[in-house]
Amino acid sequence: MTKVIQIEKDLSVLDEAAEKLASGGLVAFPTETVYGLGANALSAPAVANIFVAKGRPQDNPLIVHISNTDMLSQIVKSVSPAAQKLMDTFWPGPLTIIFEKSDTIPMTVTAGLSTVAVRMPSHPVAQYLIEKSGVPVAAPSANLSGSPSTTRASHVIADLTGRVDYIIDGGACQVGLESTVLDMTGDVPQILRPGGVSLEELQAVLGEVAYEPALKDSRQVPKSPGMKYRHYAPKAELYLVEPQYTDELVKQLAVCRNQGKKTGVLCCGDTQYEADFKIDCGRDAQAYAQALFDALRQMDDLGAEVIFAEIPCDEGGIVPALMNRMLKASGGQVLAEGITTKIERL
């Protein structure tokens, strides 16, 4: 049985879920990025249940969430001065740092790797829950494997009811895309997954920071196992639309109409298209990022068969993360001169 807890002013409504978490249960909770599906990171059987509940491939490691830096000593071997600087600047917040793992963390968490990903979320509900449970919490995004990540409790309820012990409803997530995953175990810090903290922000603190080559070249094997899977995909076919190709979008909508297909458009602003369903995701990339996963799920619920998603015009900041998720969700299908050019763009 899954129990849904609504957040009230007094966070002690979370105490029973925190107790369940500590004793081996599964609890889905809001963070500032997306909802997470948590288990006690020190318990291999509890962590194994996450993989079952999500249908997650066994070779995809989990992020360990903490509420204070004292918890780090049982998770990682050591903290370098550069990693310390990152923690001082970006924690709590949407940055996941990869360290060499300590022996206390079971191999189930790291999928056999000798490194471990750690993050301190800033969402007050996540912080309270972890602190109260008293254990580090292993948590992937709280969606069925392959589906768009969950940014509202209703998404989690749709995907995980009957599969977890508690779902905590803390409203819509603020960032809307997952954290940046940064590998600090090599010579040069490497972004394995772009996210809520941008390349520019990291460079301002660390100096040299690189994107992992596989992010730009799909022929290379990614260092982060999760990046090799098709992800975030709606049930409908999805095509991205470059800002300068809206004429082509109008044409393709007509083609779909003639074929009797139900169409949906994710718009940047209040644009006029003849589609069955339209969702305005906002003109700026940050608003779009917050809206994206919810919009993809809404389109599936509405019964759209083909979705066209306009790409916002902005650059930098959250844009590489947004492009990364949009390209993965669409399988790299982009509308330019006709359907479909595959592009690789970060």
Residues that bind ligand TXA (CB under 6 A): 31, 33-34, 36, 60-63, 94, 96, 98, 110, 113, 115-117, 119, 139-141, 178-179, 181, 192-193, 223-227
Segment contacting Mg ion by CB under 5 A, of 140-148, 192-200, 255-263, 318-326: 140-148
Using the minimum distance from each CB to Mg ion, give the nearer residue, 43 or 151: 151
**Of 134-142, 158-166, 287-295, 318-326, which segment contacts Mg ion by CB under 5 A?**
134-142
Picking from 167, 130, 142, 156, the residue whose alpha carbon sits closest to that of residue 19 is 130
The set of residues, in sequence order, having a beta carbon less than 8 Å from that of 268 and lying 6+ positions away, is: 243, 281, 282, 283, 288, 310, 311, 312, 313
Q: Does 324 bind Mg ion (CB under 5 A)?
A: no
Annotate each residue in 41-80 with x if it binds Mg ion (CB under 5 A) or - if it does not, as one string. ----------------------------------------
| Token representation of residue 45 | 């059987």
Q: What share of the chain is helix, strand, coil (3-state, %, to 5)?
A: 35, 20, 45
For the CB of residue 151, give the shortest distance to Mg ion in the complex, in Å.
12
Nearer to ligand TXA, 197 or 335 (CB): 197
Q: Would you state the structure tokens that stand for residue 19, as one six-digit string?
A: 């107790």
Cβ–Cβ under 8 Å, residues 325 and 143: no
- Region of 331 please: left (phi>0), alpha (psi -120 to 50) or beta: left
Contacting Mg ion (CB under 5 A), which of 96, 141, 147, 180? 141
Closest CB to ligand TXA: residue number: 226
Identify which of residues 196 and 312 has a Cβ nearer to ligand TXA in the complex.
Answer: 196
Question: Is the link from the previous residue into 92 a cis peptide, with omega within 30 of 0?
Answer: yes
Please check whether residue 199 is in contact with residue 211, taking contact to mean a CB–CB distance below 8 angstroms: yes
Nearest distance in Å: CB 124, ligand TXA? 15
Minimum Å gap between C-beta 223 and ligand TXA is: 6
For Mg ion, which stretch binds (CB under 5 A), given 18-26, 138-146, 168-176, 240-248? 138-146
For 25-49, give the DSSP string.
--EEE--SSS-EEEEETT-HHHHHH
AA letter at 49: N
| Contacted by 67, from Mg ion, ligand TXA, none: CB < 5 to 8 Å by type | none
Q: Look at the block and give the residue holding tokens 């997952």.
A: 178
Which partner in Mg ion, ligand TXA, none is near 148 (CB below 5 to 8 A by kind)? none
Q: How far is the CB of 323 from Mg ion (least distance, A)?
A: 17
Q: At 192, is the secondary structure helix, strand, or coil?
A: strand
Residue 133 makes contact with Mg ion by CB under 5 A: no
Instruction: Count Cβ neighbours within 10 Å for each residue of 19-52 and write b for 16 or more, e otherwise.
Output: ebbbeebbbbbbbbbbbbbbbbbbbeebbebbbe
**Minimum distance, C-beta of residue 312 to ligand TXA, in the bound complex (Å):** 21
Residue whose CB is less far from ligand TXA, 27 or 334 = 27
Residue ranges in contact with Mg ion by CB under 5 A: 141
